[in-house]
Chains A and B, each alone.
Chain A
């Protein structure tokens, strides 16, 4: 079946540095990918919608300059956390919908645990 791969699965970075998280659709094309953030014991919170070849659409309250999203191809979207701070530590997970699919299945990556020290 369709697979979405997310990398890295775990990353620790120093405060003030930037971290890039990749989300790849392995066997299907995804014009749209979604980035979520999840705090411990909480639900998934939509951060932004990543559109191939155009600017991402950010949810209210999400800083677009801090969470840079690039969707350069039909199989890859990246989330860059810039000038990371400890409060950015969280679980980040992406999802994708297959282009030819009517929308019945949304595939998720494995998620990325970010720890900023």
Chain B
């Protein structure tokens, strides 16, 4: 079984500042993938970044970076230079990679509010 824990229901950040959204996970799968999605009020799920469990380097995508600490089972999302448009719900998710049919398991999400 897999479990994702996001302990921050809500976060505030000043525009142009960096913010870290926490995510810890638990799994018995030897190979797994970690994902972050952004969900604005419209409801769509926007893929942000992916980290494979065997990737040696932390993933980065533009202003998004994933701070992957395998021993601690954490996969925190760092957003640099926050923008007003970053205000949304953010979900951490994971799936095992040993089977093609495993779905994503989601955390409860963190609502990020960027303040001007």
A interface residues (Cβ-Cβ under 8 A, vs B): 31-32, 34, 38, 42-44, 46, 49, 51, 91, 93, 95, 97, 102-108, 110-111, 113
B interface residues (Cβ-Cβ under 8 A, vs A): 33, 35, 37, 42-45, 47, 50, 52, 91, 95, 97, 100-101, 103-109
* Chain A, Cβ-Cβ closest to B108: A43
Known: A34-B104, A43-B109, A103-B95. A108 touches B44 (CB 8 A): yes
Query: Which of B33, B37, B45 touches A103 (beta carbons < 8 Å)?
Result: B33
Beta-carbon contact of A43 and B91 below 8 Å: yes
Beta-carbon contact of B97 and A46 below 8 Å: no
- The CA of A104 and the CA of B32, in the complex, are separated in Å by 9
Beta-carbon contact of A104 and B52 below 8 Å: yes
Q: Is the interface of A mostly helix, strand, loop or mixed?
A: strand
A-B contact count (CB 8 A): 55
Query: Which of B43, B45, B106 touches A113 (beta carbons < 8 Å)?
Result: B43
A78 to chain B, nearest CB (A): 18
Beta-carbon contact of A106 and B44 below 8 Å: no
- The CA of A110 and the CA of B45, in the complex, are separated in Å by 7
Q: Give the residues in chain A near B35, CB-CB below 8 Å.
A: 106
Beta-carbon contact of A107 and B104 below 8 Å: no
Q: Give the residues in chain A near B100, CB-CB below 8 Å.
A: 31-32, 97, 103
Query: Which of A32, A51, A105, A113 touches B47 (beta carbons < 8 Å)?
Result: A105
Beta-carbon contact of A49 and B103 below 8 Å: yes
Q: What are 19 A-B contacts with C-beta separation under 8 Å?
A: A32-B100, A34-B103, A43-B108, A43-B109, A44-B91, A44-B106, A46-B104, A46-B105, A51-B101, A93-B43, A95-B104, A102-B97, A103-B100, A106-B47, A106-B104, A107-B47, A108-B44, A110-B43, A110-B44
